[in-house]
Every structure is written in C-alpha cells, then in structure tokens.
Amino acid sequence: MDPLEKLVDLIKRHVQTDGLHRTPLPGVSLARSGQPTIPMPVVYEPTLCLVVQGGKRVMLGTTAYVYDAATYLVASVDLPVMGSVIEASRDAPYLCLVLDLDMTVLSDLALRYPCQSSDDNVPSAGIALNETSPELLDAAVRLVGLLDTPGDIEALAPLVVREMLYRLLTGSGNGIIRQMAQADSRLNQIAKAISWLRSHYTEPCRIDSMADIAGMSRSTFHAHFKAITAMSPLEFRTELRLQEARRLMATEAVDAASAGYRVGYESPSQFSRAYARMFGLPPAKDARRLRRVAEVSMGESELV
C-alpha cells in the first residue's frame, strides 16, 4: 500500500462523519465530505491543506484555486475565502488533513536552514498551491498513524509536525513559507494589519491607520495588501462583514436587518445590495436556503 492509500485508509477509519474534526494531534484536523458542497465562506488561517482523496475549489477574491491529492494548499495569512468540495461521493469521500502552521517552529527551521533567494521578500498571493511530494506524504502517514497509538502522540507528534514543516520550507515553491518565517517580511507586515482588521471589521476602515500598523507608506501598503489578499482593504472588510452576517442568519436565525447592523452596516438596503452581489441572493432568502441544505445534509448523514 503506497503512502496515499495508507492516508486514505487512516482518515476514513478515524473520521466517520462529514465535517471538519479536531484530533488529539496538536494543530491537526481531518475533513470529510461524502458529496460535493455549495460554496461556503470561511476564514483560512495560516494552514496546510493536504487533500488525500477528492478535490476542492477555493475562491480568493476572483481567483480560483483547485487542488486535490496531487497538490497541497498553503494559506499564509488570515484570508476570507469561498470554499467548496467539487469531487466527492459516498464510496470515495473527500478527505483532507488540515495542519495549523506553527510560526515558532517555522522560524526556527528557517534560521537553521537558510535559503539565499532574491525572491524571499517579493509579495505573493496569500494562498499558494504546490506539488505534493512523496516525502511530505510519508510524514503525513506517520502523523495520522499516531491516532492508532495515542500514547505516542505527546512524544512523537511534535517531531513529525516539525518534519512536515521542514518539507514545506525546503520543497519547491517554498517562497511563501520562507516569507511566513521572516518576522520582517512584507507578508508578516500585512499580516499585522489583517489581524487588526479582523478584530475591527465593524468599524470605519482607515487606510492610513492600517498602513501605520503594517509599518508602510499608504501606497506601499495598498499595493502589498492587494497582492497578498487579491482584495483592497475595503473589499477585505466587506468580505469579513458579509461572511459573519451570513453565519449569524444561517446558524443563529438572526434577521437580515439585525445581522447587517451587527456587522457594521447602518443602511439595510446597502447591506442587502452588498450581500446579494457576493452570494447571489438577498440575505433572508440565502439564509433559508443554507438552513435547508444543512437539514438535508444532516438527514443524509443520519442515514449513512
């Protein structure tokens, strides 16, 4: 059995239901879906997504990233995206290992194994796709395999995670990982502004203030922010607002006017227009659709 087949077997045994499941392995979650899904908003934090079966599409702004068992995805900063499983079935469910990227470990590895490159500090998109190597797969097999021997997790999991981060750092297309590991990189300067914006998205968005947080001039900040997030700061704030409003309506049954107000919109009509542009339906109608989809999915999972 090759490493990919082993990973499929391991994840299928340890994840019996659809959804994203935390595991006893520090920073590791396992995802499963027995069917394709509609695009749903989510904020990707610094993460490795290693698909072992099926396929997924992520939209960052207007850019699509499609990945499967041949390609892994790395998100380098907090990014609001629209994600959907595009290849999955009951017999061959979508399966994915999700690893939170430990910046302390990454920084230590970058210091120990430097790479002299003139491209290290060139701004790039906050999401990157790279070819999944046999070495990365082999380490992932040993990491998930620790779920079969829980007593070994505390001692061995940190070592295997470190190895996986080393493979990311030294593999092809590692520029985005190198930038994450450098405290003074443009990527990390923008990450500081993104962190502030995630905590203050209901407030007025002042570009000069965010540029100060990032330690950049206004024009430099705007250029690097858009290069990394594929959005302007105002568009990024809008994504955060509308994603949270959608969650409030779909999961907490908050009415549209209240949801819009809670995320920072003073005008219900402005909120409704912005929402429909992003999600294709007026707020209330979209929330009803999402609740119906959730009910159907729950019913099907109970039948499996």
Residues 149 and 87 in one domain: yes
**What is the domain range of residue 46?**
3-181
What integer pLDDT is reported at residue 116 of this predicted model? 58
- Read off the pLDDT of residues 84-110 as tens digits, 9 standing for 90 and up: 999 999 999 999 999 999 989 998 998
Tokens 């190198």 correspond to: 178
Which alpha helices (H) appear in 120-203, and where do they start and end? 134-145, 153-170, 175-181, 186-199
SS3 category, 20: strand
Residues 157 and 193 in one domain: no
Residues 113 and 146 in one domain: yes
Q: What total number of domains does the chain contain?
A: 3
Tokens 């950049």 correspond to: 216
CATH number of domain containing 48: 2.60.120.280
What integer pLDDT is reported at residue 304 of this predicted model? 32
> Per-residue DSSP letters for 26-53?
TTEEEEEESS----EEEEE-SEEEEEEE
Low pLDDT (below 70) residues in the chain = 116-124, 294-304
Residues 241 and 278 in one domain: yes
What integer pLDDT is reported at residue 179 of this predicted model? 87
What integer pLDDT is reported at residue 298 of this predicted model? 44
